[in-house]
Amino acid sequence: MGSLVISNKILDKYFGYLKNLDNKTKKSLINKLTKSIETKSKKEFDLKSLFGAWEDDKNSDEIISEIKKSRVNKTNTESFE
């Protein structure tokens, strides 16, 4: 999840809303904010999971033929004028 950066003016506005909360709620909010900034252990990324052989029943000549048949040649070109 991305981070949201906001200005001090907006932070002051939020604080204006939150300063009237009771102490128990403020402490709960502080705990949640503190937990949200603690570093979390990142999962190790396995680079090998990106590699692998192409699995298909077709042979290479059939695949090449399909690729060539799917090509589209556009003879009408429009100018940028």
- Provide the whole-model pTM: 0.41
Q: What are the helix and strand counts (H, E) for the chain?
A: 3, 0
For residues 20 and 71, what is the distance between their CA atoms, to the nearest angstrom?
A: 66
In a domain, 57, yes or no: no
In a domain, 24, yes or no: yes
In a domain, 52, yes or no: no
Domain that holds residue 24: 8-36
Q: How many CB atoms lie within 10 A of CB 10?
A: 10
Which pLDDT score, from 0 to 100, does residue 64 have? 92
- Contacts for 56 with CB less than 8 Å, ≥ 6 apart: 63
Tokens for 28?
């709960």
In a domain, 72, yes or no: no
Over residues 53-62, the pLDDT tens digits come to: 767 788 889 9
Q: How many domains does the chain have?
A: 1
User: Greater confidence, 36 or 26?
Assistant: 26
In a domain, 68, yes or no: no
